[in-house]
Amino acid sequence: MKRPDPRPDLDKLQPYYSSETAGGRIFLHANENPYPPPDDVLNEIFEAAAKIELNRYPDPEPIELIEELASYAGVDRSWIWIGDGSNEVLLQACLAYGGPGRTALMFEPTYVMHQRQARMSGMDVEVVAREADFSIDVDRATSAIKEKSPAIVFVCTPNNPTGTVTPVADVHRIAEAASGALVIVDEAYFEFCGLTVAGDLPDFPNVLVARTLSKAFRLASVRLGYGIGDPVLLEQMRRVRMPYAQSAFTQLAATVAVRRRAEMLPIVDQIVAERDRLIETLAKVARVEVFGSGANFVLFRYPEAARLLDELAGRGIVIRDFSHLKGCENCLRVTAGTPAENDSFLEVVTTLV
Ligand code: PMP
């Protein structure tokens, strides 16, 4: 008997790995929200969850959730797409608008899944390097778009792992240059900077904004992401959607969390304050170069990144190594945790010798 051969182009795709977490006690590697939802919100979710009929399929079109997301995003409900985490939304966009023989263009270093999602759909990938400060040079971006004629352009803002915010006007220029291609604006972290292109979408029928409840909404384990875009654009994505994709629990938890956003979101201010404290403190450490961030994490460079990572791991503090990414040599990324968690991290970094 012979084993089957995988798709030949799979060799361009490496499985996704995050940091080693065994032995960890403070987890600042995955850009999670360190605070669970308030008790009151949790109680509502778990009381309602007891009534879920597990033998039945979940609602194929959870209107209440879609309406809550539409009201939060300030659009009509026909402009909302939901997926199992924004990762699924991004993959579905690639499956519908990418595929073999087409090209995805992205500005690296950026979220490593974008390249994988494009390749999973069979696309070729063209990379435009970000500047040394990780901003996007829009003139270079627009000429690359003209030259490569991509079917999909990814813009991540705030950008993971660098934290860089791309000004809204620059996103507009990129979207104009990419007329006829799908522009995916990944706004997973938008609540931590407040800048979005969601309100401008009526002028940009080629833009899909991808967002998530995993970060500001504190629901990483629930797996709910959403897209915002022109209904005609979303219509094509229905072709690549699984039936009954979001579990009944996911629908329930997400609906309650977004409906009760007035209780869920004020925590963002605390996280932003802690992020800024991380930046200010890191900036004072000798041989550390720290980058500005509009997200809930901070990227910094330290010439002995590997040693620092080991020292932190020895104390059970897990952050994420990005040294292997082009442009991020010796760079580490730390998520803004609780003040106590950040203190533990900063204590190690500020006593570096
Ligand atoms: N986009 C970006 C930029 C991210 O950093 C992440 C998660 N780290 C995602 C999308 C995916 O998040 P989720 O699937 O949890 O919605």
For ligand 1, say whether the CB of 196 is within 6 Å of any of its atoms. no
pLDDT of residue 181: 98
Distance 31 CA to ligand 1 centre (A): 9
Ligand 1 atom at minimal distance to the Cα of residue 156: 3
For ligand 1, say whether the CB of 86 is within 6 Å of any of its atoms. yes
pTM exceeding 0.85: yes
For ligand 1, say whether the CB of 156 is within 6 Å of any of its atoms. yes
* Mutate-to-test residue for ligand 1 from 17, 110, 160, highest number of ligand atoms within 8 A of CB: 160
For ligand 1, say whether the CB of 187 is within 6 Å of any of its atoms. no
pLDDT of residue 213: 98
**Whole-angstrom Cα distance, residue 18 to residue 333?**
12
Contact assessment for residue 12 and residue 2, using Cβ atoms and an 8 Å cutoff:
no
Q: In order along the chain (353 residues), what is the average pLDDT of each group of 10 residues?
A: 94 88 96 98 98 98 98 98 98 98 98 97 98 97 98 98 98 98 98 98 98 98 98 98 96 98 98 98 96 98 96 97 96 98 97 80
* Mutate-to-test residue for ligand 1 from 17, 19, 27, 86, highest number of ligand atoms within 8 A of CB: 86
DSSP characters over 108-132: ES--HHHHHHHHHTT-EEEEEE--T
Q: Is 102 helix (H, G, I), strand (E, B) or coil?
A: coil
For ligand 1, say whether the CB of 186 is within 6 Å of any of its atoms. yes
Phi, psi of 104 (to 5 degrees): -110, 135
